A = this chain, B = another copy of it.
Amino acid sequence: MNLKQLSENLGLSQTTVSRALNGYPEVSESTRLRVEIAAEKGNYRPNMRAMSLATGKAMAIAHVIPIAKHDVFNPVFAEFIAGASQTYYKYGYELMLTIAEAKDEESTYRAIAAKNAVDGVIVHSPLRQDDRLALLKEIGLPFVVHGRVCDTNEEYNWLDMNNRRAFKQATQLLIDLGHTDIALLNGPESMSFAWLRRCGYLEALGNNKISERTELSTVGELTEPNGYQAATAMLAAKNPPSAFLVSSYIVALGVRRAISEAGLTIGKDISVITHDDELSYFDNAGAVPQFTSTRSSVREAGVLAAEMLLEQIDNPTLYPQTKLLTSSLVMGSSTGPFRALS
């Protein structure tokens, strides 16, 4: 069923039917009603391709996810996208998902723009210093960054968790419990999220006049074996840490393994705080506090980021917008109870 058929059935012109359906005021109420009923029962939906060709609006948003051949598809992105899709659905937009090898990201963005396939883009996995900002501005495609770019003077839309604050709080909590030798197992610090977490960690140490022991920091892919190896090495060295601050629950699983092999008990001999815990599908309800991002908060972030982008597209003068989501400090159930130093 297309506009032409629908209008012929009704004995009206395509113009009138189109106007009726799109809420133009000059259509009489009676015709509008007739049209709406006929459209409904004919299960009419405008052909998106034709519509966007005529209007110049694609009614679609792209999410570009950089992902190397052997990387996993980060569940955080999946949740974020699930949230964003709610917003798109609400406003009649479509979601195009693009997985981009890091090396040809530039051409990916250029292609997206040139093909006129979308009205805007959500940028995932920002780096501390990221060329995509300049690129997207150059090609004039509206965008919102999920996260932040640290080293830039450019203005741009972003929405982020407060990673710095969360890790500062977590570190402070450990310090308040009497810890001074606190290990940080972080992700690659070329990525903003990891860098900001490190900043928070250092800030808390600094505030408490604790000097950083660089051998207690590792950086790497957020995998279980990395956590295991790093923790094993640290526990075997002299002056082992009494607490671990871990950037991902997956890594924390490796830490747990190392701790248990070392004959230690979490919550008795040693403390572990991890991030993203709820993403592991653990049930953190009630007793267990919330650390930085959780599954539901990530999804909510997706909702908000998408709203930000659509708003931007509708009303470019609002530019730039930013949103820093706060979330309270929390420990996950996978890490067990904290320990106060005796």
Q: Which residues from chain A sit less than 8 Å from chain B, CB to CB?
A: 1, 43-50, 52-53, 58, 60, 67, 70, 72-73, 75, 77-79, 81-82, 85-86, 89, 94-99, 110-111, 114-117, 222-225, 250, 253, 279-283, 295-296, 333-334
Name which residue of chain B comes closest to A333, CB basis: B224
A52 to B79, CA, bound (A): 31
Q: How far is the CB of A331 from chain B (nearest CB, A)?
A: 15
In contact, A225 and B283 (Cβ under 8 angstroms): yes
A89 to B72, CA, bound (A): 18
In contact, A224 and B282 (Cβ under 8 angstroms): yes
| B-side contacts of A82, CB under 8 Å | 67, 73, 99
In contact, B45 and A114 (Cβ under 8 angstroms): yes
| B-side contacts of A334, CB under 8 Å | 224, 253
In contact, A96 and B95 (Cβ under 8 angstroms): yes
In contact, A47 and B115 (Cβ under 8 angstroms): yes
13 intermolecular pairs with C-beta atoms under 8 Å apart = A45-B111, A45-B114, A47-B116, A53-B53, A73-B78, A73-B81, A78-B78, A82-B99, A89-B99, A222-B281, A224-B280, A224-B281, A225-B283
A70 to B281, CA, bound (A): 11
Q: How far is the CB of A275 from chain B (nearest CB, A)?
A: 14
In contact, B114 and A1 (Cβ under 8 angstroms): yes
In contact, A250 and B280 (Cβ under 8 angstroms): yes
In contact, A115 and B48 (Cβ under 8 angstroms): yes
A110 to B43, CA, bound (A): 8
Name which residue of chain B comes closest to A42, CB basis: B114
